Chains A and B, each alone.
Chain A
Amino acid sequence: MKRFIRAAAIAALVVTTNAAAFAAGDDVKNPTAQGWSWDGIFGKFDRAQLQRGFQVYKEVCAACHELRYVSFRNLTEVGFSEAQSKAIAASYEVIDGPNDEGEMFKRPGRLADRIPAPFANEKAARAANNGAAPPNLSLITKARHDGSNYVFSLVSGYEKPPASMKVAEGMNYNPYFPGHQIAMAPPLEDGKVQFADSTAATVKQMASDVTAFLTWAAEPGLEARKRLGFKVMIFLLVLTALFIAAKQKVWRDLH
Chain B
Amino acid sequence: MSNMQLKNPILRWIEYRLPIFSFLDDSLGSNYPAPKNLNYWWNFGSLAGIALVLQIVTGIVLAMHYVPHVDYAFDSVERIMREVNYGWFLRYLHANGAALFFLVVYVHVFRGLYYGSYKYPREILWWLGIVIMVLMMATAFMGYVLPWGQMSYWAATVITNLFTALPWVGVNITEWLWGGFTVGNPTLNRFFSLHYVLPFAIVGVVFLHLWALHQHKSNNPLGIDIKGPQDTIPFHPYYTYKDLAGLGVFLLVLAAFVFYSPNYMGHPDNYIPANPLQTPAHIVPEWYFLPFYAILRAIPSKLGGVIAMAASIFVLFLLPWIDTSRVRSTKFRPVYRYFFWFLVIDVIVLGIVGAKPPEGIWILVGRLATLYYFVHFIIIMPFVGWFERPLPVPDSIHKPVLVSAGAAAVEAQR
Residues of A whose CB lies within 8 Å of any CB of B are: 1, 7, 11, 14-15, 18-19, 22, 41, 69, 135, 139, 142-145, 147, 178, 218-221, 225-226, 228-230, 232-233, 236-237, 239-241, 243-244, 246-247, 250-251, 254
Contacts and interface: CB of A to CB of B under 8 A. Distances in A.
A80 B78 CA distance: 23
B248 to A, nearest CB: 3
B59 interface: no
A238 to B, nearest CB: 9
Interface of B: 36, 39, 75, 78, 81-82, 88-89, 92, 233, 237-238, 241-242, 244-245, 247-249, 251-252, 255-256, 258-260, 262-263, 268-269, 271-272, 281, 287, 341, 344-345, 348, 351-352, 355-356
A247 B272 CA distance: 46
A150 to B, nearest CB: 9
Given A1-B39, A18-B355, A246-B244, 15 more contacts: A11-B348, A14-B348, A22-B355, A22-B356, A139-B78, A143-B269, A143-B271, A219-B81, A226-B259, A228-B259, A229-B255, A239-B248, A243-B241, A243-B247, A254-B233
Contact of B352 (A1, A15, A178, A232): A15
Nearest to A139: B271
A229 B258 contact: yes
30 contacts: A7-B341, A18-B355, A19-B355, A22-B356, A41-B260, A135-B272, A142-B268, A142-B271, A143-B268, A143-B269, A143-B271, A144-B268, A147-B268, A219-B81, A221-B88, A225-B88, A225-B92, A225-B262, A226-B259, A228-B259, A236-B248, A236-B255, A239-B251, A240-B245, A240-B249, A243-B245, A243-B248, A244-B245, A244-B248, A250-B237
Nearest to A43: B260
Nearest to B269: A143
A12 to B, nearest CB: 9
A251 B240 CA distance: 11
A247 B241 contact: yes
A145 B352 CA distance: 18
Contacts of A229: 255, 258-260
A233 to B, nearest CB: 6
A254 B36 contact: yes
A233 B341 contact: no
| Prevailing SS type, chain A contact patch | helix
A233 B248 CA distance: 11
Contacts of B260: 41, 226, 229
Contacts of B345: 11
Contacts of B245: 240, 243-244, 246-247
A176 to B, nearest CB: 15
A217 to B, nearest CB: 10
